[in-house]
């Protein structure tokens, strides 16, 4: 019984990272991924903020799933999710003001992020709190991995640094491919990440 439950928990977690990867597979929440991935620190900040909101709202919704009347479940989800978003917003503002100002309006916009809503509706409102915890965690980590990858690629190519440390030599850092940290670079990197995922899954099928 215990082992079966553990396997299930692992399955919920790893599904979120791979099969249900919110960004690359479901193509949800793209706005914030492209917008804040200009460097690694911002990307990590966004990933952690998102994971926090995702896990908390998933668990809370699943705890009260039998109490919520079906007709008003959407407004209830909205209130729960935006409460956690507001908490994250103010905590970041107090303890990491630099990252908070970099994330700008994309932090409050987590409140209407389609991923959080989608999981609340399709998973948390039908499963027990433990499963929802792992599902939320998996989705959050899947999101963080993609945004971290994008942040790393864009910072290395566009600035010649990673977390502020010079990589690829001083000559490259002096004249990097500056357009990678501007908006066009964001579109280009996400395009090739998606293309790579498609290529990998096509190869698996063969």
Partner 1 sequence: MQSLFLIFISAFLVNNIVLMRFLGLCPWLGVSNRIGPALGMSVAVIFVMLLSSSVTWIIYNFLLLPMGLVYLRTMVFVLVIGTLVQFVDLFLKKNRPALYKSLGIYLPLMATNCIILGAAFLIIDYNYNFIQSIVFTLGVSLGFMLAMIMLSSVRERIDTADIPPSLRGAPIAFITASLMSLAFLGFSGLFGL
Alpha-carbon torsion, ordered 26, 190, 87, 116, to 10 deg: 0
Under rule CB under 8 A, residue 43 binds partner 1? no
Closest CA to 36 of 22, 21, 17, 49: 49
Cβ pair 116, 60 in contact under 8 A: no
Under rule CB under 8 A, residue 163 binds partner 1? no
Q: How far is the CB of 193 from partner 1 (least distance, A)?
A: 8
Under rule CB under 8 A, residue 28 binds partner 1? yes
What's the maximum distance between 2 C-alpha atoms anywhere in the chain? Answer: 62
Q: 125: which 2 tokens?
A: 């409102």
The dihedral of CA 187, 193, 194, 199: what is its sign?
positive
Of the listed pieces 43-51, 107-115, 134-142, 159-167, which binds partner 1 according to CB under 8 A?
107-115
d(C-alpha 138, C-alpha 96), whole Å? 25
Under rule CB under 8 A, residue 66 binds partner 1? no
Contact with partner 1 (CB under 8 A) among 75, 126, 163, 166: 75
User: Would you tell me which residues interact with partner 1 (CB under 8 A)?
Assistant: 27-28, 30-32, 34-35, 74-75, 78-79, 82-83, 85-86, 89-90, 104-105, 108-109, 111-112, 114, 117, 179, 182-188, 190-192, 194-196, 198-199, 202
């Amino acid at each position: 019984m215990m082992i079966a439950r553990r396997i299930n928990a692992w399955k919920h977690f790893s599904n979120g990272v791979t099969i249900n990867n919110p960004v690359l597979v479901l193509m949800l929440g793209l706005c914030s991924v492209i917008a804040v991935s200009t460097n690694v620190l911002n990307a990590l900040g966004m990933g952690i903020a998102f994971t926090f909101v995702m896990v908390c709202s998933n668990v809370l919704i699943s705890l009260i799933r039998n109490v919520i009347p079906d007709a008003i479940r959407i407004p209830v989800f909205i209130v729960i999710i935006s409460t956690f978003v507001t908490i994250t917003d103010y905590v970041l503002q107090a303890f990491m003001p630099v990252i908070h100002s970099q994330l700008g309006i994309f932090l409050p916009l987590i409140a209407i992020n389609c991923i959080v809503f989608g999981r609340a509706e399709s998973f948390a409102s039908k499963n027990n709190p433990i499963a929802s915890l792992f599902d939320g965690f998996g989705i959050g980590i899947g999101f963080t991995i993609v945004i971290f990858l994008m942040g790393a690629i864009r910072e290395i190519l566009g600035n010649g640094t990673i977390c502020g440390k010079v990589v690829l030599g001083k000559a490259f850092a002096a004249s990097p491919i500056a357009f990678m940290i501007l908006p066009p670079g964001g579109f280009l990197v996400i395009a090739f990440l998606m293309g790579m995922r498609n290529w990998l899954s096509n190869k698996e099928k063969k």
